[in-house]
Amino acid sequence: MERQIMHIDVNNAFLSWFAIWRLKNGEEIDIREIPSIIGGDESRRAGIVLAKSNIAKQFGIVTGETIFQARKKCPNVKVFQGDYKIYREYSDKLYKLLLDYTDKIERYSVDECFLDMTEYLMKSTLMDKAKEIRKRVNEELGFTVNIGLSSNKLLAKMASDFEKPNKIHTLYTNEIEEKMWTLPIRDLFMLGRKTVPKLYNMNIKTIGDLAKADIEQLINKFGKHGKIMWEYANGIDLSDVAYKYEEPKSIGNSTTLAKDIQDLESLNEVLLALAEHVAYRLRKYNMIANVINVGLRTKDFKDFSHQGKLYIPTANTKDIYLKSKELLNSMYKGEAIRLISLRADKLINKNEGQISLFNTKDEKKQEKLDKTLDELKEKYGYLSITRAGKLGIEKNIKFK
């Protein structure tokens, strides 16, 4: 199975995040809409520009120059000192949102993530997922991202660096010659600045030139790094998304509907699909949930939700679905719905949970059924088997 890898890069992260934080704390001016920069201590004349607004960029201000030089280009530019706590806060918000899509996330830097979506696409495509993520980040968090899609990390990273901002780009192996080989050699990922002049001296000026170069000559000149450069130029990267296991505090899933739904029966069918996926992930983590939360977004972008405590903590698909169905039925008033979400909260490790004195034969039978289905999904893929209640509904939904 071909891997499905996504790279997410926040556009102008430091300035965007600081701008959002200011607005949320009562400031009226959005510094993204004026000449502004994020930098160090201006009084020392040694502070450098870490980030700049698009308007500041129009004055010729560039990242890395001193604030003193920036002021000469734009005397009225507003200067703000960076705040890592704010950056970390918004980085964590992005990470939490991405956990709705996959458990395999590598935080490459404070404003970049790799996602392995191979086992999480369900009936959707990687492009569908990317569009959902881009839209949610903008609407819920207030900033924009570039997203690169490919079958490995290298190509996904290269793709996300194409035209900005707020864009989604693909770079698959069949697109390398057209989209990557024409780029200047300095644009190749992980190529050091000192290496570029040496390659120029070898008449290697584009990534395509490097891809077609004699690999033995490159190894003789640069050692093992020569082989890596040649592989990268040819789109070869076998590295895994290096995600760190973190015991989740909640597990959720949501879906934007392909078309608005306005009948309870159809919403319940979508909810069953969400419940099955949430319960499946709970069991993979060996966690059980105490609380279930169901959320709805109307076609007019009004959000509301209900939550309820489970009779006993569980990762049982049937019990989670029945509780979520109960919550949906109690709050749905016939509105046209464009998004529905389900989240399991107040999680505990299954081994730490108390054994119910009221476990019935039916509950044990359901646990056995869930385990059997999980084993089949692990062996043959998530979509290898589905519950009867879900048959035929996938055409109405796009999973996140």
Beta bridge partners of 107: 113
Beta bridge partners of 146: 9
- In degrees and rounded to multiples of 5, residue 152 shows phi and psi of -150, 170
Other beta carbons within 10 angstroms of residue 33's beta carbon come to 11
Please classify residue 50 by burial: count the beta carbons closer than 10 Å to its beta carbon, then call 0-12 exposed, 13-18 middle and 19+ buried.
middle
Task: List b or e across 329-367, with b for residues whose CB sees 16 or more CB atoms inside 10 angstroms.
Answer: eeebeebebbbbbbbbebbeeeeebeeeeeeeeebeebb
CA nearest 156: which of 8, 33, 292?
8
Question: Do 129 and 121 form a contact (C-beta atoms < 8 A)?
Answer: yes
Sequence length of the chain is 400
Q: Which residues are catalytic?
A: 112
Question: Do 221 and 203 form a contact (C-beta atoms < 8 A)?
Answer: no
Beta bridge partners of 206: 184
Give the β-pairing of 168-170 and 145-150.
parallel
